[in-house]
Structure 1
Amino acid sequence: MKNYNKKNMKKYAAIVLMGILIQAMTSCSTKSDIKGTKEEAVVQELKNKTIELTKLQFESSKMSLGKKELKDFHEVVKATGMFDVPPENRVSVSSYYSGTVKEIKLLPGERVKKGQLLFTLENPEFVQLQQDFLEAKGQLIYLQSDFERQKNLSQDNVSSQKTFLKSESDYMVTKVRMQSLSKKLALMNINANLLTLDNIRSTIIVNSPISGYVTQVDISKGAFLNTSQTAINIVNTDELHLELKIFEKDLLKVKLGQAIKFRIQEDKSNSYDASVHLVNKTIDTKDRTVGIHGHLEGTNMSNKFNPGMYVEAEIYATSSQKLALPEDALVEIDGKYFALVLSNSSNKGYTFVKKEIKVGATNDGFVEVLNAMDFDENTQFLTKGAFNLITE
């Protein structure tokens, strides 16, 4: 009985020992597999983040390298508006006197100079006005002589005071009438000092009050022009400026002298410079906007733009310098931004590592890098060509 129990115990111990060995072997195998899987995952992750390029690939794709750099970033106030000119640079030409249009040779868009003849009017009444002036002028010579004579006689008590006062009155009335007629002739562009019986005419000329461009012609040859009727519109674009509107909520951000970048609808690829010159003190109660007057900066602006052209503008309210990368250096994937950082370069090519970039504000083709401290000042980024490499 004892021998039997000893045999059974030996068998049991052998079975337990075998189980422990099997468990140990299984455990070692599992740990080894897990370790192997993790190592493979790390290698695969590094492989996904690392990109190698030959020099030929780099150059043929016209790629380029660059570093993070300080760029000006602005708090921008959006504005819309148009080009305009000061009121004194926009005129509606009419005539102080009515008449029939005898001559006009202007077309819209034509440039005119100040004092240039625009058109001529004809009216028989012009002749009568010149006749009245010459008659008054002739009478004044006699009346002045009579007045001076009566004045001397009155002082010597030879002539009565009544006669003297009558001559004085006639002289003064005629003198006032002649001066009044002289002013009227001046409004007709007739020089009263040069007017004689030989140069009385039935036509008058209307000259341009400013230099500029003809924008509208409302008369034609043979038409009758009334005194209250506009004949021609002229605009001088030498003092072209911006008339913009901003929302009431942005009013406190805008100050005199702030920079303005604006674009026109016809060419949004180019931007132009201006500055805030005036801020309106009243608010439009309908759309809650405020008017901004901007002065253009640069030469020949009046030759590029026309009054009334629509513009979209950005007013740079505040400015600060921030470390940034070009927009082309960043690629967005699932809401995150990545860039390729140069880790190694040799005669054969380049090695890049994909790194996540925390982005901030954008301005003029550059993006603020919020985690700029993660990269030293000598770190080089692939600034051109990253998109195709990261998204492949």
Structure 2
Amino acid sequence: MKKYIFKFIISLSVLIVAVSCGNSEGNSKETGGNGAKSDSTANNGGTQVSLAQFEGSDMELGKMQENTFPVTVDATGMIDVPPENKAIISSFADGYVKETPLLIGDQVKKGQFLVSLENPDYVQMQQDYLDAMEQMKYLKSEYDRQKALIEENITSEKNYLKAESEYKRNLSKYQSMRKKLQMLNLNPKAVENGTISSVIRIYAPIAGSITEMNINKGMYVSAADELMRIIDTDHLHLELNVFEKDVMKLKKGQEIRFSIPEASTDTIEGEVHLVGTSISEEKRTVKVHGHFKDEDKKTRFATGMFVEAEIITDQKNAKALPTQSIVSLDDTDYVLVLQKKTDSSYVFKRREVMTGNAFNGFTIIKNTSDFKNNDQFLTKGAFPLIKEE
């Protein structure tokens, strides 16, 4: 009898040990193998975060709050300068390029030498000027003589009118040729003193930098050719295009926020200076001229840069959440809403949200009716948790 009792006790002990080991293994799987709770686990469709993880990751809770958001009009355009700050350099006469010491990017001052051209025709123009000047001296003398004679009734009116006509016609020729020499930067006084040159020099009409250079030494150019371009970047501005439907919302002084998508993600501030008064028939847009608020930032830009801009026309109040609390997955936006809080953990539920405009770190939530006023959201640290679900 004692023998059977002993065998029963042994069998019962083995069974208890086996059950105990099984429970231990199951607990090990739930706690990550070391008996401690996992920092983030699924709990009834939610995400559980331990107090240690919440505090160690600097997570924060917050409620949806009402913020002020700007009402904006979208626009695109470019960095530009006024027409008076652009110069296309060309010549008033044909010629061969003799000298051009500049390269693209060089800075020039107003009146600085740019290029010289050479042509035998310049010599002939100066000779024609001298001939007209000498002819004028004789005709002026004859005109004065005939005028004196007609006053004394000594000569006929016909002779007087002929002398007057020839003198005035030659005077006109002399003055026009003198002006041509001045336009070619040839000094008429020097020509009159016998200094004749086959070379003309072209000078910068404005200060700025060389942006285009279309000539080489020895190249033949005509008066219609564009030799080079100069742009003065001291007056950079925004030249924006706004669609016709938004024109009535615009006025001088409104704030502009813009960026250069191809070069930087920084947002730069400006303001509306002028609003166009005509609509482009092709694109149905109006031109808006804007100025930089921070003049020092203009040095970072070049003319022709494409910009994307928003013009703030009004403001509105709307309920919003911090932008960092919203995570986008597969074109859908989500947030984490607190379901339950215990002494050792937080349990969050992932919820879909419909978002609007973002401003100053906050994003408008359109479907606010889907949430309660006292709902708390994970406003910091939601990204890794939503990615894990």
CA contact 1:79–1:315 (8 Å) conserved in 2? yes
How much identity, in percent, do the aligned residues show? 36
Deviation at 1:134, TM superposition (A): 2.4
**1:161 aligned partner:** 157
Q: 1:165 to 1:269 in 2, by over 3 A?
A: closer
**2:278 aligned partner:** 281
Matched residue SS, 1:281: coil
**1:107 aligned partner:** 103
Q: Which has the larger radius of gyration?
A: 1
Deviation at 1:218, TM superposition (A): 1.4
2:122 & 2:327 partners in 1: Cα distance? 79
**1:187 aligned partner:** 183
Matched residue SS, 1:201: coil
Matched residue SS, 2:148: helix
Matched residue SS, 2:135: helix
2:160 & 2:243 partners in 1: Cα distance? 74
Matched residue SS, 2:88: strand
Report how many aligned residue pairs link the two structures: 337
Aligned match for 1:212, one of 208, 214, 223:
208
CA contact 1:74–1:363 (8 Å) conserved in 2? no
Matched residue SS, 2:167: helix
1:85 & 1:273 partners in 2: Cα distance? 17
2:333 & 2:57 partners in 1: Cα distance? 27
CA offsets per residue over residues 118-144 of structure 1, 9 Å max, x none? Answer: 100111121221122223223323432
Q: 1:135 to 1:302 in 2, by over 3 A?
A: farther
2:159 & 2:181 partners in 1: Cα distance? 33
Matched residue SS, 1:137: helix
Q: CA RMSD in A?
A: 3.9
Establish whether residue 265 from structure 1 lines up as the match of residue 265 from structure 2: no
Establish whether residue 231 from structure 1 lines up as the match of residue 227 from structure 2: yes
Normalising by structure 1, we get a TM-score of: 0.70
**1:374 aligned partner:** 373
CA offsets per residue over residues 308-355 of structure 1, 9 Å max, x none? Answer: 2222223334311345432224568996633569x99xxxx9997869
What one-letter code is carried by the residue in structure 2 that aligns with 1:282?
A: I
**2:139 aligned partner:** 143
CA contact 1:101–1:224 (8 Å) conserved in 2? yes
TM alignment of 1:342-381, pairs within 5 A: 361-364=356-359, 365-368=361-364, 370=368, 374-375=373-374
Aligned match for 2:127, one of 127, 131, 135:
131
Pick which of 288-297 and 221-230 moved more: 288-297
**1:122 aligned partner:** 118
**2:301 aligned partner:** 305
What one-letter code is carried by the residue in structure 2 that aligns with 1:374?
A: N
**Unaligned stretches of 5+ residues in structure 1:** 1-43
**Unaligned stretches of 5+ residues in structure 2:** 1-41
2:189 & 2:66 partners in 1: Cα distance? 72
What one-letter code is carried by the residue in structure 2 that aligns with 1:315?
A: I
Establish whether residue 90 from structure 1 lines up as the match of residue 86 from structure 2: yes
Establish whether residue 256 from structure 1 lines up as the match of residue 256 from structure 2: no
1:138 & 1:274 partners in 2: Cα distance? 62
Deviation at 1:184, TM superposition (A): 0.9
Deviation at 1:267, TM superposition (A): 3.7
CA offsets per residue over residues 27-79 of structure 1, 9 Å max, x none? Answer: xxxxxxxxxxxxxxxxx999x7996746x974x54556778766431334433
Deviation at 1:198, TM superposition (A): 3.5
What one-letter code is carried by the residue in structure 1 that aligns with 2:192?
A: T
Establish whether residue 241 from structure 1 lines up as the match of residue 215 from structure 2: no
